């Protein structure tokens, strides 16, 4: 058997040219899962039998000369808040334990049509609420690079699955940084596309005006390929942009000559020195590649965290009201409806989810709506306006992805506010609806990876990926 490539595009090419079989690839990845999953806990469910059957079907198609998709045979891990027909989807919550959706999320369907093979459903902070994957009802995920440290969150399982070699690529969701932050902490590429570019049909909602689906990968090219596959208009999602998927793979070799790279002059404090040093190195690398570094100001950025933690919990409070033990999910038996409802939610939700539901309910309550939620929406508009002004002078903007490298387990669990600060650099783009991605760019403390975040205006994915490709080659 020939050596199995490490990238999705390499795997797909090797399978299509019959250098390796899809079954050989899947067996190799499943063996890696068997060897390390107990230590990492990237998955809530490993779909080994279904993956082998899918691989055999692809091999049969190739042998018969039937057409195959651009990701044929590529092992992919799917975050466990994306619906998979007949396969348990729990959001890492006891309240949905055992629930099997009757349909696939649109992104899952598109990946299957492209030939990608799902190897499992990945662990996450319960209902995607967290920055460390310590809030899962089924136990934490560990960082494959140092199992004493967190992988980030909420898509920690998806980031860890790629970093550990359990899957060539994976999907996560990003509400306030839940793809980019774990990508940075695990040393992989993570992309949050423009809001509406990728269908959210079949994504279990956390905060509907903020949620977005995107890929994790080892390379910028794989991230571009995966984004092309899952993007594009979907009539099943009312927020889907009526545009075809962008061409991203084709722009990767064009360089950054003449591009303007924004450096935030009033960047909020909080990033460690080692992280800022790598950001400075990224600016130097881009300048050497022909880009111009320009200073931009984002004065409202310091208010983004506060606005987010009013808007997101408010939307969560509304979205999670559907989990009542009546329509689906687990139910606690009781003598009357009100008691059943209260007991089901008390037993089914973890502490962080309860905390955010209570925050959101309070912000939406009579007498406080205008003072809190209404004011947060005004701040959101100011942030969008600041970005618009900045992008008048810059094609993209660079910031740290995470203020720190991966931190030890338990370091921030006693103080939720310190955990919330992990998302200080990622939240603003969710509020604005813009695309952003994290690219590994060297290491910091304890030799752990540092991610540089590339921000772009609405539908600015092409510029974002051009910069990412240059940073990747310079890292």
Query: For residues 189 and 182, what is the distance between their CA atoms, to the nearest angstrom?
Result: 9
Query: Could you say which of 154, 155, 158, 402 is catalytic?
Result: 154
Query: For residues 96 and 123, what is the distance between their CA atoms, to the nearest angstrom?
Result: 13
Taking residue 45's Cβ as centre, other Cβ atoms within 10 Å add up to 18
What's the whole-number mean pLDDT along residues 351-374? 93
Query: For residues 85 and 83, what is the distance between their CA atoms, to the nearest angstrom?
Result: 6
pLDDT at 327 > cutoff 90? no
Pairing verdict, β 189-192 and 169-174: unpaired
Query: For residues 120 and 71, what is the distance between their CA atoms, to the nearest angstrom?
Result: 17
Taking residue 219's Cβ as centre, other Cβ atoms within 10 Å add up to 22
pLDDT tens digit sequence for 130-164: 999 999 999 999 999 999 999 999 999 999 999 99
Give me the residue spans of the domains in the chain: 8-251
Query: Could you say which of 9, 79, 131, 136 is catalytic?
Result: 79
Phi and psi angles of residue 99, each rounded to the nearest 5 degrees, phi first: -75, 130
The residue whose two tokens read 């510029």 is: 463
Does the annotation count 240 as an active-site position? Answer: no
Nearest to 259 by CA among 226, 221, 285: 285
Predicted confidence at residue 9, as pLDDT, reads 97
Nearest to 251 by CA among 37, 13, 460: 460
Predicted confidence at residue 163, as pLDDT, reads 98
Asked if residue 399 lies in contact with residue 279, where contact means CB atoms within 8 angstroms, the answer is yes
Report how far apart the first and last C-alpha atoms of the chain are (Å, whole number): 32
Query: For residues 448 and 371, what is the distance between their CA atoms, to the nearest angstrom?
Result: 41
Q: Which two tokens stand for residue 300?
A: 């409202």
What's the whole-number mean pLDDT along residues 258-286? 97
Q: What DSSP element (H or E) covers 277?
A: helix 273-288
Does the annotation count 154 as an active-site position? Answer: yes
> Given 3-state DSSP classes, what are the helix, strand and coil percentages for the chain, each rounded to the nearest 5?
45, 15, 40
pLDDT at 298 > cutoff 90? yes
Taking residue 98's Cβ as centre, other Cβ atoms within 10 Å add up to 10
- In this structure, what DSSP letter does residue 426 have? T
Query: For residues 89 and 73, what is the distance between their CA atoms, to the nearest angstrom?
Result: 23
- In this structure, what DSSP letter does residue 370 have? I
Predicted confidence at residue 317, as pLDDT, reads 96
Query: For residues 325 and 339, what is the distance between their CA atoms, to the nearest angstrom?
Result: 11
Predicted confidence at residue 367, as pLDDT, reads 86
Superfamily of domain 8-251: Amidase signature (AS) domain (3.90.1300.10)
Query: Could you say which of 109, 132, 178, 217 is catalytic?
Result: 178
| Angle between helical axes of 22-40 and 8-16 (0-180°, round to 10) | 150
pLDDT tens digit sequence for 55-68: 999 999 999 999 99
CA distances from residue 233 to 198, 229, 239 in whole angstroms, order as listed: 7, 12, 9
| pLDDT level of residue 94 (50, 70, 90 thresholds) | very high
**Residues 6+ away with beta carbon under 8 Å from 233:** 199, 240, 241, 242, 243, 244
Does the annotation count 131 as an active-site position? Answer: no
Query: For residues 204 and 54, what is the distance between their CA atoms, to the nearest angstrom?
Result: 25
What's the whole-number mean pLDDT along residues 376-394? 98
Query: For residues 410 and 245, what is the distance between their CA atoms, to the nearest angstrom?
Result: 41
Instruction: Kindly report the pTM of this predicted structure.
Output: 0.97
């Amino acid at each position: 058997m020939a050596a199995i490539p490490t990238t999705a595009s390499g795997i797909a090419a090797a399978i299509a040219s019959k250098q390796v079989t899809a079954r050989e690839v899947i067996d190799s990845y499943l063996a890696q899962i068997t060897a390390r999953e107990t230590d990492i806990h990237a998955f809530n469910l490993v779909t080994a039998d279904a993956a082998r059957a899918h691989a055999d079907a692809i091999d049969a198609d190739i042998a018969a000369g039937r057409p195959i998709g651009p990701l044929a045979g590529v092992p992919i891990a799917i975050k466990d808040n994306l619906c998979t027909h007949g396969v348990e989807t729990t959001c890492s919550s006891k309240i949905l334990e055992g629930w099997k959706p009757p349909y696939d999320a649109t992104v899952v369907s598109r990946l299957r049509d492209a030939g990608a093979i799902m190897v499992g459903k990945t662990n996450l902070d319960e209902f995607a609420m967290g920055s460390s994957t310590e809030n899962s009802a089924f136990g934490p995920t560990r960082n494959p690079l140092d199992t004493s440290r967190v992988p980030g969150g909420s898509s920690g399982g998806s980031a860890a699955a790629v970093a550990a070699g359990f899957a060539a690529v994976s999907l996560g969701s990003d509400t306030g940084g839940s793809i980019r932050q774990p990508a940075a902490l695990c040393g992989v590429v993570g992309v949050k596309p423009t809001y509406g570019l990728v269908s959210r049909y079949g994504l279990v909602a956390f905060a509907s005006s903020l949620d977005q689906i995107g890929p994790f990968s080892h390379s910028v090219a794989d991230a571009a390929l995966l984004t092309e596959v899952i993007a594009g208009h979907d009539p099943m999602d009312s927020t889907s942009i009526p545009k075809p998927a962008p061409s991203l793979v084709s722009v990767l070799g064009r360089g950054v000559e003449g591009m303007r790279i924004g450096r935030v002059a009033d960047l909020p404090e909080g990033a460690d020195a080692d992280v800022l040093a790598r950001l400075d190195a990224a600016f130097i690398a881009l300048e050497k590649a022909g880009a111009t570094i320009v200073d931009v100001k984002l004065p409202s950025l310091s208010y983004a965290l506060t606005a987010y933690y009013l808007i997101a919990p408010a939307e969560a409070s509304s979205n999670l009201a559907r989990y009542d033990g009546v329509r689906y999910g687990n139910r606690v038996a009781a003598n009357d409806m009100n008691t059943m409802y209260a007991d089901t939610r008390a037993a089914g939700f973890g502490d962080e989810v309860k905390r955010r539901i209570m925050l959101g309910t309070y912000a939406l309550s009579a007498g406080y709506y205008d003072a809190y939620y209404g004011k947060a929406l005004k701040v959101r508009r100011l942030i969008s306006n600041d970005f618009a002004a900045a992008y008048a002078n810059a094609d993209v903007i660079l910031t740290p992805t995470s203020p720190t490298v991966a931190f030890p387990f338990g370091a921030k669990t006693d103080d939720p506010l310190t955990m919330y600060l992990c998302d200080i650099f990622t939240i603003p783009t969710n509020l604005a609806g813009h695309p952003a991605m994290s690219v590994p760019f060297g290491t910091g403390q304890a030799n752990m990876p540092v991610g540089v975040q590339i921000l772009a205006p609405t539908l600015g994915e092409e510029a974002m990926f051009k910069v990412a490709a240059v940073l990747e080659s310079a890292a």
